A and B are shown apart, each in its own frame.
Chain A
């Protein structure tokens, strides 16, 4: 059971938009910044979003992040087949003094 809760799967058609939610509590998302990662099968995760809504160099603006209260959301517009992957949210948990991840969401581009 992950500390952060994500839907197991989401799907959408190419060119459409999808959002992935990440729910936590005041000890993690509520009082810390959120990051998002993309993981293709058999590869290491890749940082997509940090500071709730900032994109590292090289990440297209099709990817966006937001946070409200104890929840965060990753948005992907103009879906492409290459976006099919597992997506994870992550943050710090102040009560645990530890890093925490969501359980991951598998994105299928139909």
Chain B
């Protein structure tokens, strides 16, 4: 079964850091680009970051650029999001999603995890 499982969310103080993980299974992880998408409480979807199949191409939303870093580990079939200098407005449910292709071109997300919740509050 094709599956994505996020972990690493939690309650964190403003200015601190958090690292999200996404474990992929049931498909050849190397063949696909991957994304992080978040959804603040009661709000719509916001694309956060994406990474190509070989990590050669990455992208970030302006709202997180310079604070968040996306990475992937082929050996562990895992995607990561290192989140630094967190702000209250980063509070959201963070989804990991698989792209239908290998590169950051089409941004079609055909497999989604259930998400992990990040709450930034003092």
* Known contacts A50-B100, A98-B59, A99-B59, A45 near B109 by CB under 8 Å: yes
Which of A2, A33, A45, A98 lies in contact with B106, CB distance below 8 A?
A33
Cross-chain contact of B35 among A86, A99, A100 (Cβ < 8 A): A99
CB pair A100–B47 under 8 Å, yes or no, is: yes
Q: In angstroms, how far is the closest chain B Cβ from the Cβ of A104?
A: 4
Give A91 to B105 CA distance when docked, in angstroms: 9
Interface residues on A, range: 20 to 34
Residues in chain A near residue B46, CB distance under 8 A? 101
Distance, CA A98 to CA B44, complexed state (A): 17
Closest A residue to B106 by CB, please name it: A33
Which residues of B are found within 8 Å of A35, using beta-carbon distances? 106-109
Q: Is B110's CB within 8 Å of the partner chain A?
A: yes
Residues in A neighbouring B100, C-beta threshold 8 A: 50
Distance in angstroms between the alpha carbons of A89 and B53 in the assembled complex: 24
Which among A33, A46, A86, A101 is the interface contact of B47 at CB below 8 angstroms?
A101
Indicate if the CB atoms of B50 and A99 lie closer than 8 Å: yes
Does B60 make an interface contact (CB < 8 A)? yes
- CB-defined contacts of A99 to chain B, threshold 8 Å: 35, 37, 47, 50, 59, 107
Residues from chain B with Cβ under 8 Å of A86 in the complex: 44
Listed residue (A39, A46, A90) with the most chain B CB atoms within 10 angstroms of its CB: A90
A96 in the interface (beta carbon within 8 A): yes
Q: Is the CB of B45 within 8 A of A44?
A: no
Chain B residues with CB below 8 A from A56, complex form: 110
> Which of B21-29, B68-76, B112-120 participates in binding chain A?
B112-120
Q: Which residues of B lie under 8 Å from residue A43 when comparing CB positions?
A: 114
Known: A44-B95, A98-B61. A50 touches B106 (CB 8 A): yes
Please name 9 pairs of A and B residues whose Cβ atoms are closer than 8 Å in the assembled complex, sorted by A. A33-B106, A50-B100, A90-B107, A92-B104, A98-B61, A99-B35, A99-B50, A101-B44, A103-B44
Closest 7 CB pairs of A and B: A99-B47, A44-B112, A104-B44, A99-B107, A50-B108, A101-B45, A92-B107
